[in-house]
Structure 1
Amino acid sequence: MKLESLRKNVEFKTVYKRGKSFSNNLLVLYKYKNKKNDNTNRLGISVSKKVGNSVVRSRVKRLIKECYRLNQQNFNVENFDLVIIARTSCKDRTYKEVEKALINIIKKAGLYNNEESSNLHD
């Protein structure tokens, strides 16, 4: 299963417009089934300037990307475009808190494999 990044504004807008959204106190997730048939998932991470300065925003992006990468084997995601939006409450959180929020939101979206439901990383 390959993972690519959503980069273009048009791609983000398509996911916002046509996708389905799920949220919790730290993150918002938009999922949209893409038209590719090569098991490619595309992940976009959006962090507003309201969250903090560039250093804070970059840290939040790295945390979200790393949480996704380490838990990817538990996600039942194929041919989806996912956009994860960090809320302002995300800026002072630890890795564990962000990971828990990401797993929670993926479960809400129905994209989590229930076989190893409590396999959190240290």
Structure 2
Amino acid sequence: MLPAANRMRKSGEFSQVFRQGKRSGNQYLVVHTISDGQINEAGLSEVGFVVDKKVGLVVGKSVGNSVVRHRVSRKIRHIIRHYLDDLTCTAMVIRALPAAADATSDVLEQALLKEFRRLSLLRSDFSRSKNE
């Protein structure tokens, strides 16, 4: 579970990140982010998750039933909580794609870190080992 101050809940916040933010993605997920300081006055990074149940037009496949979708969101939520203090953005929405249903936590973490680096979302002094 993410701390309450880091959870994005309002649909307006999601919409603002989708409309005004930058985005980058891979086969497992898409990361939408905004760094303008308008969403969270406390200066903390807020994170929201989107795991659609409808069939995507491009892929022609959904993430899965509710059990699978919740499993994917729990994996991503567990991964992201380790990086909250190292994020440089104000708000982020992580959208899971159908391939995430079959991915392990390690694969999802590598995919997420790849997008963090691509969008320059981690502090430059960030260096986390898997043993910490």
**What's the TM-score bracket when you normalise by the shorter of the two chains?**
0.7 to 0.9
Q: TM-score when scaled to structure 1?
A: 0.85
- C-alpha displacement of 1:121: 5.5
* Paired position in structure 2 for 1:47: 51
CA distance in 1, matches of 2:49, 2:92: 8
Q: Percent identity?
A: 29
CA distance in 2, matches of 1:56, 1:89: 11
Q: TM-score when scaled to structure 2?
A: 0.79
CA distance in 2, matches of 1:25, 1:121: 27
Compute the RMSD of aligned alpha carbons: 2.0
3-state secondary structure, aligned to 2:122? coil
1:14 aligns with 2:24: no
More strand by share: 1
- Describe how 1:5-84 pairs up with structure 2 within 5 A: 5-33=7-35, 34-35=37-38, 36-49=40-53, 50-73=62-85, 75-78=86-89, 80-84=90-94
Q: Which runs of 5+ in 1 are unaligned?
A: none
- C-alpha displacement of 1:48: 0.8
The runs of at least 4 consecutive aligned structure 1 residues that moved more than 6 Å come to none
Q: How many residue pairs get matched?
A: 119
Q: Which runs of 5+ in 2 are unaligned?
A: 54-61
* Paired position in structure 1 for 2:58: none
